[in-house]
Structure 1
Amino acid sequence: MTRTGERVVTSRLRTPSWIARIEAPDGRVLGAGVLLARDRVLTAGHVVGPGPRYTVRLVGVPGLAAVAATVRADEHVPQRQDAFGDRSGDLALLRLAAPLPAEHTTRLYRLAAPHGPVSMYGFPDGDDGGRWHGATLVAARGRDSQVQLRPLTPGELAAPGFSGGGVVDHATDQVIGIVLSVDDGPGYAFSYMSPTETILSHLPQVAAWTDGAEAVDPRLRSDTGTTTGRLDLPFATQLTAWFRGAGWPVLVTVVPAAGDRAWTLQRAVTLADRELRTHRNTSAVSHDPPETVPPAGAHDLALDVTGLTAAEVMDRIAERLGIRDDPRPERLGTLRLPLAAVLVAVDRAAEPDALLGLLDRLARQGARLLLVFRRPGERAGGAADLLVHRPLRERWTRLHAELRRITDELGPALDVRQDRVLPAPGTRHLLDRAESGVRRTRMLRAWVAHTPEHEREPGRADLLFTFEDAVGRRRRRLEQAVAMLDARLRRREELLGRVGAEWPLCRQRATAHGDRVVEAYRLYEHALSLLRQTPCDIERAETAVEAFVGFCSAPAPEEEGAS
C-alpha cells in the first residue's frame, strides 16, 4: 500500500503516483524509479551514477515540478559479474534536492517464492508518459537471486526505459522489486528484476521503507564472520545439498540448541537467505569448500517453532507466501513453485502431533522441508518414518509396478496390435521409440532389481526421480502407440461391418444385371482379404472397400440407358 492506504493494484489502471521518471540534464529519459521516501528514489545502478545531477519527475502527479537529484557513492551498487557470468548488484538510491509530498511514496514488500503474474511500469522509447507491461515471474537466476520475468506478449518485453521501475505482484498488490535489465537474444526474451530481499542485502538502509515478514527467525541467524562456531563439514555438505534441491525433499535431522552443529545450521540458513547473504558474509566463507555454501534464495522461511501451534506456523508460512485471508494448507498446492521451509525445534512446538500432520500434508503437496529436532528419540524417528522412509519406499514400490506394467503389459500389448495392424503412414518412428523404450525398461528393471541398498537412501533420491521421469515418458509413449493402433483396429472393424452390410444388397442388385455379380464378388473378396490380412494395411483396405461400395452404388448400364 501507499502511505495513504491506497492499494497499489488500483494504479494499474493509471500512472502510479510513486513512479519516477529519471532524466539527464538535457531531458533524455534514462529510466524509471520508485519513490520510497520524500527525498529518496530507488532505481537501477546502470541508470544513474555518483557525480552527475539528474532530474526526477513524478509523471503520475500533474502539476508537480521536477526535482534535482544526485547519488552518493555509498548508495550506488554497480552491476558486477562473477566468474560464472552471473550478474549482481545494479542498484542505486537517488537523494532529492527538495522533498516531494509524502502521500505519493510507496513501500517495498518482502515476498518469498516469486510466482504468478506481475505488472511493471516504465518509459519505453517515445512514450514519456510511461505504460504498464505484464509479465510472469519465472524463477530465481544466479548467485544474486535475481528473478526472471517472462513478458505476457512479445510487445511487453521491458525496454531500457523500464530499468528501475517498480514490479507489482498481482496477488498481494505490493511492489516486490524493481526491473534491472533485459536479455533479448535469438529464441528468447526475458527481463530481470531484483526482489526486495536482494535489494536489502545490497542497500540495508532500504529496510526503513520495507514491509513484509523476514524469512529468517532472528534466533536462527548467525554472524558468519565471527568464530563462535566451527564448521561441521559433513553436516554443512548435507544441508547445502538439500538447499540446492538434491535428494529427497524432506530432511529430518537432530541438532542440539548449542554447539558446532547448531552454528553450522545457522550459517547455512543465513547464507541461503537473499536478505542476509551479503558481500561481507560470503567473503568470510569464500575459502570454505564450495559444497558447503548454499545458494541465495534457497528457502522461503526459516522458523524456530518452539511453543508455536500448528495454526501459528501455517500463518507464518502464508504470510511469507503472500496468502491472505484464507491461509489453509490446501492453498499452498495452487502455487506454481513449491514451498521450501526450515522448521527448527519441531519437538518443542506447542502441538507436535498436529504440526507433524500439517507438515505431512505440505510434503504431499510438494513442499521441501528441513525439519530440525532438538533431541533424538521417538518424535524425530516418527517424523523421519512418516515423511521420509515410508513415502520413499512407496515411490520405489510404484516404480517397480510401473516397470512391470511396461515390460509385462504395455510392451506385449503393443506387440499384439502390431501383429494385427500396420501403423499409419509417417508414424513408424513413434512405434520405434515405444519399442525402444520397452527394451531399455527391461534393462532398467533388471538394474533396479539389483540396486545396492545405499542407492535407495534419501540423499540419493535424485536417482529415483530420474528413473521415474524416464519410465513416465516411456509409459506415455507406449499408451499413445497402443491407443493409435487401437484406433486403427476399430477402423478395421468399421470397414468389415460396412462390407458385410453392403454385400447382400449388392449381390441381390448385381444378380439382376447378369455378369455384374462376378465383378461385385471380385471386389468384395479383394476388400475382405485385405481387411483380414495380418498385419492389416488400413489405407489399402479402405481403398478396396471404397471401390467395392462405389461399384455397388453406381447405376448399371441398363439403368443409365433407361434414364
Structure 2
Amino acid sequence: MTRTGERVGAARLRTPAWIARIETPGGRVLGAGVLLAPERVLTAGHVVDPGHRYTVRLVGIPDLDAVSATVCPDEHVPQREHLGDRSGDLALLRLAAPLPAEHTTRLYRLAAPHGPVSMYGFPAGDDGGRWHGATLVAARGRDSQVQLRPLTPGELAADGFSGGGVVDHATDQVIGIVLSVDEGPGSTFSYMSPTETILSHLPQVAAWTDGAEAVDPRLRTGTDAAGGRLDVPFATELASWFRGEGWPVLVTVVPARGDRAWTLQRAVTLADRELRTHRNTSAVSHDPPETVPPAGAHDLALDVEGLTAAEVMDRIAERLGIRDDPRPERLGTLRVPLAAVLVAVDRAADPDVLLGLLDRLAGQGARLLLAFRSPDQRATRAAEALMHRPLRDRWNRLHAELNRMTGELGPELDVLRGRVLPGPDDRHLLDQAEAGLRRTQMLRAWVDHAPGREREPARADLLFTFEDAVGRRRRRLEEAIGVLDTRLRRREELLGRVGAEWPLCRQRAAAQGDRVMTAYRLYEDALSLLRQTPCDIERAEAAVERFVGFCSTTADGEEGAS
C-alpha cells in the first residue's frame, strides 16, 4: 500500500498526496518530485540546479501553500554520459518550510523490476497532473536505469514527468523516479532510476527507504587491494556469469577466506546497484575490464550458512516483492528471471533440501551462482546435477533435432518438391527452408566433430545460439512441408473431381455429336497436367476448370434441347 493506506489501484484515480510539482518562482512547471520527508523532495537532476530557488507545491493537497526550495551542490547529481550510457540525473531538494509529515512516502527496494507500473507527472497543459501507465522492460547501461514502455503512445512520459514517482502495481510501492525520454520523434521509451541506483548516488535517501538490501552484509567488501588480491581468472569467470553469459548455473568452490573469497565479494559488491559507487569503481579502474561485472547484475547475494531452504525462499520472495505466498512456482511467472548468488551452500541447515529447491528454481529459468566452502562430494554432485548433466541433455536434444531435420524433414521436403511445385507466393519460403536445411547439414557435421571444450558450461552461449537457429529453421521447414502437402492434397481433390465428372460429361457430349472429342481433349489436358511431376497446381487447376466448364455448358445445351 501507499503511505496513506490506499491501494495503488484506487489511488491512481486521484492525485497522490506525496507528489510534488516543481516550478520556477514565476509559476512555470519544470517537473515532478517525491516528498520523502517534511523538508526533502527527490527529483531528477535536470529539473533543478544549485544556486537557484524553486517553488514546490503538493497538488494533491490543495489547501497547502507552495514552499520555496533549493538544492545543495553535494545533493545534486548531474546527468553524465559515457559511450551512450547515461548515469546520475538526481537531486534532493531542501524546503524552506516543512510540509505535513502525513503526506510523505518512502522509496522501496525491489529486485528485477518487471511488470506494470504507473507514474505521475505534469504533461504540458495539465498542471493538475495525471497518471500514466507503463511496463518495466529492462535495465540498461552502467547506471542500470530501467526502460519504461508506455501502455499507449499517449502515455509516453513527457518533460513534466521528470522526477515523478514510479509505483509498482504488484507491491503498491514507489520503486524509483522518472528521469528522461528517448530523444527523437520516434521515441517509444522513458527511463527511470530504481531505488537502489538512487541510493548509490544519494546514500542519505536510505533514511526514507524500505525493502531488503540485495547483498548480505557478510558478503560486502571494499574494493581496495588491502582487502585481498584479485584472482583474475576467477574474477573473469564471475564477470562473465554476471553479464548473463554461459550456462545459467555456476557451481564453484570458495573458501571462507583468501583471495578467492575476496574476489567473489568484490564481484558481488560491484554488481549491486546500491553498493556500486564512484569510489569503488574508481578503485578498480586499473583492473582488467573483463573482470568488472555490470551494475544490477544480481537480485540477491546471500550467505546461506545455517539457513533452511524455507528461509532462503523467504529472502528471495522478499527481494522480488512476492507477498503472502512465497512458493517456488511463483517465480516461474516472473517476466525477468531471478539472478541470485548463494554462498556457503554446503553449510546450510539442510544442504540437500536447499539443493532440491535450487534445482527447481533453475528449472524455471533462474540464474544461480552457488559457492561451496569445501570441494567435497556434495559440490561435485551439485555441479553434475545443475550444470553438466542438463548441459549434456541440451546438446543431446540439439543433436537429435539436427538428425530429425536432416534425416526426416529434409527428405520429406525433397519428396514433396518432386511431386508438386510451390505456388508463386510460396517460393521464397521454400528457398529459405532449403537454405536453412543446407546450413543445418553443415551444423550437424560441426556438432558431430566439435572438440569437447566447445561443450563446456562457459561456452553454453554457443549452444543457445544453435538452438535458436535450429528452431527457426525447423519451423520454416515444417511450414514449407505443410504448404507443399496442402498443394498435394489439392491435386488429389482435382484428380477426384475430373474422374467423377468425365463419365457424365462423355454421355452428355455424345448426345450432341462431335462435342465428345472436345470434351475428351479437355479431359486429357487436365489429367495430363495433374499427373505431371512435379505438378503445377495453378496450371492443372485452370485446365480442370476449362474441362468442368465445358461439361457444364454441354449439360445446359442438353437441357435446352429437351
Shorter-chain-normalised TM-score: which range?
over 0.9
Match of 2:317 in 1: 318
Match of 2:388 in 1: 389
**1:93, CA displacement in angstroms?**
0.7
Match of 1:72 in 2: 72
Q: Which amino acid aligns with 1:20?
A: A
Q: Which amino acid aligns with 2:508?
A: R
Q: Which amino acid aligns with 1:313?
A: V
- Once the two structures are superposed, residues 414-435 of structure 1 have per-residue CA deviations (whole angstroms, 9 ceiling, x without a partner) of 1111101111103212111111
Match of 1:17 in 2: 17
Q: 1:158 to 1:4 in 2, by over 3 A?
A: closer
**1:102, CA displacement in angstroms?**
1.6
**1:440, CA displacement in angstroms?**
1.4
Match of 1:29 in 2: 29
Match of 2:161 in 1: 162
Match of 1:512 in 2: 511
Match of 1:145 in 2: 144
Q: Distance in 2 between matches of 1:140 and 1:338?
A: 13
CA contact (8 A) 1:305 1:345 kept: yes
SS at 1:138 equivalent? strand
Q: Distance in 2 between matches of 1:326 and 1:549?
A: 69
Mean CA deviation greater in 429-438 or 299-308: 429-438
Q: Distance in 2 between matches of 1:91 and 1:262?
A: 34
Mean CA deviation greater in 361-370 or 222-231: 222-231
CA contact (8 A) 2:229 2:263 kept: yes
Match of 1:454 in 2: 453
Q: Which amino acid aligns with 1:373?
A: F
Q: Which amino acid aligns with 1:332?
A: L
Q: Distance in 2 between matches of 1:561 and 1:400?
A: 69
Q: Which runs of 4+ in 1 moved over 4 A?
A: 555-563
- Once the two structures are superposed, residues 428-469 of structure 1 have per-residue CA deviations (whole angstroms, 9 ceiling, x without a partner) of 121111111111111111111111111111111111112112
- Once the two structures are superposed, residues 256-282 of structure 1 have per-residue CA deviations (whole angstroms, 9 ceiling, x without a partner) of 111111111000000000000011111
1:99 aligns with 2:98: yes
RMSD of the alignment, in Å?
A: 1.5
**1:558, CA displacement in angstroms?**
4.5
- Once the two structures are superposed, residues 68-105 of structure 1 have per-residue CA deviations (whole angstroms, 9 ceiling, x without a partner) of 111111111111112x1211100001111111112211
Q: Distance in 2 between matches of 1:186 and 1:461?
A: 39
**1:187, CA displacement in angstroms?**
4.6
**1:555, CA displacement in angstroms?**
5.3
TM-score, with length taken from structure 2: 0.97
SS at 2:47 equivalent? coil
Q: Distance in 1 between matches of 2:405 and 2:64?
A: 71
Q: Distance in 2 between matches of 1:448 and 1:185?
A: 45
Match of 1:211 in 2: 210
Q: Distance in 1 between matches of 2:399 and 2:556?
A: 68
Q: Distance in 2 between matches of 1:135 and 1:550?
A: 60
SS at 1:87 equivalent? strand
- Once the two structures are superposed, residues 512-553 of structure 1 have per-residue CA deviations (whole angstroms, 9 ceiling, x without a partner) of 333332222222221111111111111111111122222222
1:122 aligns with 2:145: no
Q: Distance in 1 between matches of 2:186 and 2:514?
A: 67
TM-score, with length taken from structure 1: 0.97
Number of paired residues? 562
Q: Distance in 1 between matches of 2:336 and 2:128?
A: 35
**1:561, CA displacement in angstroms?**
5.2
CA contact (8 A) 1:225 1:280 kept: no
Q: Distance in 2 between matches of 1:522 and 1:559?
A: 20
Q: Distance in 1 between matches of 2:100 and 2:507?
A: 98
5+ residue gaps in structure 1?
Answer: none
- Once the two structures are superposed, residues 288-343 of structure 1 have per-residue CA deviations (whole angstroms, 9 ceiling, x without a partner) of 11011100000000011111111111111111111112211111111111111000
Match of 2:285 in 1: 286
Q: Which amino acid aligns with 1:302?
A: A
Equivalent positions of 1:268-287 (< 5 A) are 268-287=267-286
Q: 1:316 to 1:474 in 2, by over 3 A?
A: same
**1:483, CA displacement in angstroms?**
0.9
Q: 1:557 to 1:454 in 2, by over 3 A?
A: closer
Equivalent positions of 1:96-495 (< 5 A) are 96-185=95-184, 187-225=186-224, 227-495=226-494
Q: 1:3 to 1:114 in 2, by over 3 A?
A: closer
**1:560, CA displacement in angstroms?**
7.0
